[in-house]
Amino acid sequence: MFDFNLMTFIAGLPGLLLALVLHEYAHARVAVAMGDFTPKLTGRLTLNPLSHIDPIGFIMLMVAHFGWAKPVMVNPRNFKDMKQGNILVALAGPAANFLVAFIALAAIMVMYKMGIRMTLGVKTVFSMIVLYNINFGIFNLIPLPPLDGSKILLEFLPGDLAYRYMGIERYSFIILIVMMMTPILGSILIPLSSLILTAFETILNIFI
């Protein structure tokens, strides 16, 4: 999912942690807001990284270039509106990633416009926050079970088709490996990341 070397990893660690933690926290926060207190009862309504990071998923992120955090457990039956709840909870994670990327990019542009010189290290850290969060948000919107995009799509599929669609999940890990080993994932992330980054820059240039 990302191109790693030691220096890139060190500079990108803040962005990586923000992407993982805020993504899962957003799921938990919106689930509670929609009426399900399962995330709070299971200790996921927190910004503590230890509550969200899956050790194996984190290692995979470093070694295999893609990984995962601990999924936030929710009980949709507790939502005031099950369909709306499922969609909003699924959207919350990627939305949090895009918001973090937007804020980090705004910080870079404000400092530049004010003539504040950032060291190469600081600029790299902020740039990696932007990159990781945009990519993480896009990645999770891919409609492959159990990613967030599949949970959104599932709410619009008829029952029988939804059941068959969820059956894809047993092959998801293999599909992700194939996507990683071929240009498929890059062909998704690179153009969409550039499009979102351009949109953010256009918006910020209007106000900054």
Residue pLDDT, tens place only, 150-198: 999 999 999 899 999 999 999 998 998 899 889 999 999 999 999 999 9
Catalytic residue among 24, 155, 169, 201: 24
The secondary structure of 65-126 as a DSSP string is S---BPPPP--GGGSSSHHHHHHHHHHHHHHHHHHHHHHHHHHHHHHHHTTPPPPHHHHHHH
Known catalytic residue at 24 = yes
Res. 144 pLDDT band, cuts 50 70 90: very high
pLDDT of 100 above 90: yes
Conformation bin of residue 35: beta by default, left when phi > 0, alpha when psi is -120 to 50: left
pLDDT of 62 above 90: no
Q: Distance between CA atoms of 19 and 26, rounded to whole angstroms?
A: 11
How confident is the model at residue 111, as a pLDDT? 93
φ, ψ of residue 69 to 5 degrees: the values are -105, 175
How confident is the model at residue 7, as a pLDDT? 73
Q: Look up the pTM and report it.
A: 0.92
Res. 64 pLDDT band, cuts 50 70 90: low
Instruction: Give the model confidence (pLDDT) of 112-127 as tens digits.
Output: 989 888 888 899 999 9
Res. 65 pLDDT band, cuts 50 70 90: low
Q: Distance between CA atoms of 150 and 146, rounded to whole angstroms?
A: 6
How confident is the model at residue 134, as a pLDDT? 96
